[in-house]
Amino acid sequence: MIIDCHGHYTTAPPALEAWRKQQIAAIGDPAMAPSRASLKIGDDEIRASLEGAQLKMQRERGTDVTIFSPRASAMAHHVGDATTSLEWTRVCNDLIRRVCTLYPDNFVGVCQLPQSPGVRPENCIAELERCINELGFIGCNLNPDPSGGHWKEPPLTDRWWYPLYEKMVELDVPAMVHVSSSCNPCFHATGAHYINADTTAFMQFLLSDLFKDFPTLKFIIPHGGGAAPYHWGRYKGIAQDMKRPPFSELLLKNVFFDTCVYHRPGIELLLKVVPADNILFASEMVGAVKGVDPDTGHHYDDTRRYVEPIEWLSAEDRGKIFEGNARRVFPRFGTRTPRAVNSAGRAN
Amino acid sequence: MIIDCHGHYTTAPPALEAWRKQQIAAIGDPAMAPSRASLKIGDDEIRASLEGAQLKMQRERGTDVTIFSPRASAMAHHVGDATTSLEWTRVCNDLIRRVCTLYPDNFVGVCQLPQSPGVRPENCIAELERCINELGFIGCNLNPDPSGGHWKEPPLTDRWWYPLYEKMVELDVPAMVHVSSSCNPCFHATGAHYINADTTAFMQFLLSDLFKDFPTLKFIIPHGGGAAPYHWGRYKGIAQDMKRPPFSELLLKNVFFDTCVYHRPGIELLLKVVPADNILFASEMVGAVKGVDPDTGHHYDDTRRYVEPIEWLSAEDRGKIFEGNARRVFPRFGTRTPRAVNSAGRAN
């Protein structure tokens, strides 16, 4: 089985965006805010949004199941206040649940969190519990910068975040560190802000004893870990100069990288420097890059094509990257089939 | 000849830092500010600061000349106002000139600019002219974020920066895009802020037609280009989705990467994906990483050891990376010896 650990619902029916626009227009005039129930999307619309996109690509590329979450760039935690964020987050998470119910073999849910700039992370706990316990989700996306490019929150390793981490540990779910859109004109969202956030998070983890406090807490740093694997020697050297423990002890039991790196030399570097135990297959399709690479004739984000043919990768390591690590990092996936995972939320 | 295009005077005599502390203490009370002339550093102190460090490493590692600039993390453009920045910048640049005069075969100067948050870049022109025309320097370091991690300046491709670019073109000098220390607790300076700035700058260039307006303007993105080479497929794909021209046309005549990547797999990736014409040898010693890699027994930042043995790199390309490209990107270096370059500023 090939598990793609990183996909967002970027192709949701247009009614979702219309609802969001109405919600944003009502900021400052709560009486005008749309109710969650006012969002009407039929099952057929959901099917149509996926059949020609994520499902088609799963079939064509030979991947089996996608760990699926709301569109990252649309989380936009900086918009409105905590109530705005909570309403939007519930709507988005509920839609992911419907996707997982319609296609229980193809998608397993990961939730957006109702973060809001300056609002304490414990404010996200109720929605996290709802998604894990009631909707059958297996993880969450955590935005280290809800301001959208101004980086005003404390580092991820600050005690500010601890109440959320306590709940993650209790529920046995990992977080993917994933920012949203950028409202800082210096940072293009998918070209700079995303990658910078990945690099920033890695460096924060390197500096901290967070995983002494939470030995079972797990994070996935997406987009191949930002710049971290390319600068692995730099990071090793900085850690060594600072007398930090070796990576194996410091963070490799807790920090994982996905394979959203859209060319073969990048994937080869990732697989050379990062232990196979710390790499989870992912493509982020349909995502940041949609085109076909003229040099290969295949989609840039068809990342299986980069991993599969690497001759020095052992079958065992390939199996870990494609399946085993995802089942380990997402314990609620574990040894089960996607259908069994999704049945946990079936009653709702 | 091996030209190291990226070195900072990180080992300057302690009197420099003492002067800076005095200057910072006097912020708000200009009468207490130290004069530039009050900084007393003897030639022997300068020699001692270099002999056991940069010069020793040049000899041991077999590099010949370093393109040398003031300590990047100490530029701290966010401290004080434009006058503070100008005084500090002049002191630092004058010290680089003294290094180049004492060791005319080993160092060629690149200047710090007196940037200050929110102050228009034309304010840097007089100091740039002084350094190029009077001190014999051949380039400048340009900080895309003088706020120190808050990213409040417009992108590097904004017309805000154009007056400085006009002067750079007129003087025929490139800029290395280099941030300074971070006062945002999210960003570790050398581990996150530096690398993020490199990635950010690359993406800004990708989005813009800056080089249509300035066909001969040149930038070096240090630290191996941040995350850009590792995510080369992502950037190619994003550019393609946006119908931007191919990189060869869009930016490869104007944007260059150094080799400050501190492990062999990273250097191999860089050399595989970026054309040899766009790579300049550099180590940034004595810099961000000081230790010895236990896996190789050599200093992490001894980057010649990564480039030299790559068997698939042709002698011609190796020559470009070690010497030819630096002479081309720094036209004031050109075909001359370092001594001849430095004699341009000899009279002063």
How confident is the model over B25-62, as pLDDT tens digits? 999 898 999 999 999 999 999 999 999 999 999 999 99
Q: Are A257 and A274 in contact (CB under 8 A)?
A: yes
Q: How many domains does chain A have?
A: 1
Are B184 and A154 in contact (CB < 8 Å)? no
| List of chain B residues whose C-beta atoms are within 8 Å of the C-beta of residue A242 | none
The verdict on residue A213 lying in a domain is yes
d(CA A142, CA A180): 10
d(CA A97, CA A137): 8
> A283: nearest CA in chain B?
B234
pTM for the full model?
A: 0.98
Amino acid of residue A137: F
Candidates A233, A153, A166; CA nearest to A200 is A153
| List of chain A residues whose C-beta atoms are within 8 Å of the C-beta of residue B241 | 289-291
With a CB cutoff of 8 Å and minimum separation 6, the contacts of A95 are A9, A12, A16, A41, A46, A70
Q: Angle at Cα B83 formed by Cα B80 and Cα B85, nearest 5°? A: 60
Candidates B27, B145, B146, B143; CA nearest to B80 is B27
Provide the shortest C-alpha distance from residue B269 to chain A (in Å).
6
Regions of chain B where pLDDT drops below 70: 346-348
With a CB cutoff of 8 Å and minimum separation 6, the contacts of B128 are B111, B113, B140, B164, B167, B168, B171, B173
| Number of alpha carbons in the 13 Å side-chain half-sphere of residue B316 | 2
Under DSSP, the state recorded for A327 is H
Q: Which is it for strands A292-293 and A279-280: parallel, antiparallel or unpaired?
A: unpaired
Regions of chain A where pLDDT drops below 50: 348
Are A155 and B185 in contact (CB < 8 Å)? yes
The verdict on residue B348 lying in a domain is no
With a CB cutoff of 8 Å and minimum separation 6, the contacts of B298 are B292, B305
d(CA A210, CA A157): 6
Q: What is the ipTM of this complex?
A: 0.98
d(CA A106, CA A342): 10
Residue B284 annotated to the active site: yes
| List of chain B residues whose C-beta atoms are within 8 Å of the C-beta of residue A235 | 191
Measure the N-to-C terminal CA separation of chain B; round to a whole number of Å. 27
Among the partner-chain residues B154, B232, B240, the one whose CB lies closest to the CB of A185 is B154
The verdict on residue B347 lying in a domain is no
Amino acid of residue A82: A
Are A231 and B273 in contact (CB < 8 Å)? no
d(CA A36, CA A34): 7
Burial of A195 per CB tally in 10 Å (0-12, 13-18, 19+): buried
| List of chain B residues whose C-beta atoms are within 8 Å of the C-beta of residue A184 | 151
How confident is the model over B292-344, as pLDDT tens digits? 999 999 999 999 999 999 999 999 999 999 999 999 999 999 999 999 999 98
Provide the shortest C-alpha distance from residue B104 to chain A (in Å).
31
Q: Are B193 and B182 in contact (CB under 8 A)?
A: yes
Which helix (H) or strand (E) segment holds residue B66: the answer is strand B65-70
Candidates B340, B253, B265, B275; CA nearest to B306 is B265
pLDDT of residue A346: 63
SS3 label, residue A5: strand
The verdict on residue B156 lying in a domain is yes
Among the partner-chain residues B231, B263, B269, the one whose CB lies closest to the CB of A195 is B231
d(CA A47, CA A330): 26
With a CB cutoff of 8 Å and minimum separation 6, the contacts of A192 are A182, A186, B196, B199, B200, B203, B204
The verdict on residue A141 lying in a domain is yes
* Domain containing residue A126: CATH number: 3.20.20.140
- Considering the candidates A134, A284, A308, A316, report the single residue annotated as catalytic: A284
Q: CA-based Rg of chain B, rounded to a whole angstrom? A: 19
Q: Are B159 and B171 in contact (CB under 8 A)?
A: no
d(CA A44, CA A42): 5
Q: Angle at Cα A53 formed by Cα A51 and Cα A59, nearest 5°? A: 75
**C-alpha pair distances (Å), B317 with each of A192, B149, B165:** 30, 36, 29
> B236: nearest CA in chain A?
A293
pLDDT of residue B348: 47
| Number of alpha carbons in the 13 Å side-chain half-sphere of residue B257 | 32
Are B266 and A265 in contact (CB < 8 Å)? no
Are B233 and A266 in contact (CB < 8 Å)? yes
What residues does B257 pair with on adjacent strands? Answer: B221, B279
Give the tokens for residue B156. 């590097």
| List of chain B residues whose C-beta atoms are within 8 Å of the C-beta of residue A6 | none
Are B290 and A199 in contact (CB < 8 Å)? no
The verdict on residue B22 lying in a domain is yes
Tokens 């959203």 belong to which residue? A260
- Could you write out the DSSP letters of every residue in A114-183? ---TTS-GGGGHHHHHIIIIIT----EEE-S-TTSSS--SPPTTSGGGHHHHHHHHHHT--EEE------
Candidates B325, B265, B334, B271; CA nearest to B300 is B265
Amino acid of residue A72: A
pLDDT of residue A348: 47
Tokens 């990183």 belong to which residue? A6
- Could you write out the DSSP letters of every residue in B160-215? GGHHHHHHHHHHT--EEE------STT--IIIIIHHHHHHHHHHHHHH--HHHH-T
Domain with B248, as residue range(s), is 3-342
Q: Are A225 and A202 in contact (CB under 8 A)?
A: yes
Q: Are A281 and A64 in contact (CB under 8 A)?
A: no
Interface test with B, best of A73, A157, A230, A302 (most B CBs within 10 A): A230
The verdict on residue A348 lying in a domain is no
Measure the N-to-C terminal CA separation of chain A; round to a whole number of Å. 27
